[in-house]
Chain A
């Protein structure tokens, strides 16, 4: 950090990135801001309405429910994926061909297009043609993700766990590999138990990657759209409609531009806040290193 040279000409190097991202980010964002304070009937008839849409959005009970559902969902998947990911990472071999193979196999779900993830689970969970659905029904449960809200929730959570636990596992695995062998030797001399090794050697070293993993998972699950859309379409009813989906319904389904734009801004501010926490945390962690 201290060795960096002060040079404002570096801005010329950053300029292309700034321009290209600004084109795709700032212009649309300003359009959203523009919509959020106007009532638009057609391109030529529009009225300035001030903060009316924001008031409406803040009081909209459907959005409150979607927000609540969203938080519940994000915390549920974090609570499952983080411990599971750590376990998987601990089980992965560290050397040889097995290590490469394990890495590749575990990473596969991460490389599947998101709508195909939805499709896979749509097929897998059906009672008539899917193994999982048939298995659940075989156990005597009346499992049907498209008509029963509990089953739909269960399937959406299971899908996310299937899809994203590998991310936590891979991050933890790379964190574990960074622990010097000497630490383990010292633990062996002290005859430390397996739990003690985990608690006092591995877990502290994993803190860095876990913060990154948890925040990435939180952010990404907070903007989840495609997978539940393909799997359940937000239903049954609106039991699996998360924030992104209710936004898309409002903006494109009903074409309520004003409220949708106000909603977008509130949504974006929440994300920005979490993002800032994320950024400050990892930047501080790097400073400590």
Chain B
């Protein structure tokens, strides 16, 4: 009796169980398929750029192909051998790094103040910072140009770095404030009781605690300064010209140098792709101004 009833109950249960399971598995499978489809579409334009950067101009113009038939590194060689080209990358990296350092240095104490203290006008100040992140650069274009010209900073790296501060500093404050609010206040109080002064506590104890937050913030300052072109182009002419502005040089009398343009484009994508791995779990937080 028991011997025969077990298979029956299994038979009764098995289809129900497996049906639900199959349904779930199908849903996941559909999801995976959809995701792969989306990612392929997402990467296709980038792939096309990479593909083109390895082709000669004659091949590019002679027809479409998914792989370079005449694989060449000439376009990259041209960029790395011409100082007007590679200086563009150095200029970009230079002002982006300056911006990153300035933003972090000023944002760290401010974010601490916002996360720990109540003071007159704190909410207005926080809002005002945000409103700068949202200000369209086009509005400030001309005044920026005149301001930096009049103080003699036009066409210097520091000018672009300072101009970019208008949106990276608010971003840094907002992200850091989010990370700092996650650190229990008891730590501060204990440190003060133990006789730490504020600067000593801040550097020795607090900063190591939010190390990852600082890394994420640095990445996003880097990123937002790196992708911006309008201000960087307006504030520079020769010495500090960013790579993004130099790319327009590929238009010449003899037509577009597509291969070179593609190679230059690929090289601007690389820095972001190299560091995204380290902040992958905080990407959303950074792009949402630390409010996720």
Contacts and interface: CB of A to CB of B under 8 A. Distances in A.
Interface of A: 3-11, 13-14, 16-18, 20-21, 23-25, 27-29, 31-32, 87-88, 90-93, 100, 102-116, 119-121, 123-124, 128-132, 134, 162, 166-167, 170-171, 173-175, 194, 208-209, 212-213, 216, 219, 222-223, 225-226, 243-245, 247-248, 251-252, 257, 260, 264, 267-268, 271-272, 274-276, 278-279, 282-283, 286
Contacts of B135: 25, 223, 268, 271
Contact of A20 (B31, B169, B292): B169
A32 B27 CA distance: 56
Given A10-B117, A109-B42, A28 B280 contact: no
Contact of B136 (A18, A87, A271): A271
Contacts, number: 274
B166 A24 contact: yes
- In this complex, which of A7, A14, A18 has the most chain B Cβ atoms within 10 angstroms of its Cβ? A14
Interface in B39-70: 39, 42-46, 48-49, 52, 60-61, 64
A91 B52 CA distance: 31
A31 B52 contact: no
A108 B114 contact: no
A185 to B, nearest CB: 13
Contacts of B173: 17
Interface size classification for chain B: 35 or more
Contact of B261 (A20, A119, A216, A260): A119
Given A129-B258, A223-B135, A286-B291, 5 more contacts: A14-B110, A103-B283, A171-B287, A225-B138, A264-B138
B48 A104 contact: no
5 closest A-B pairs by CB: A111-B272, A28-B143, A223-B136, A10-B117, A13-B113
A interface SS class: helix
Interface stretch (B6-14, B203-211, B262-270): B262-270
A209 B288 contact: yes
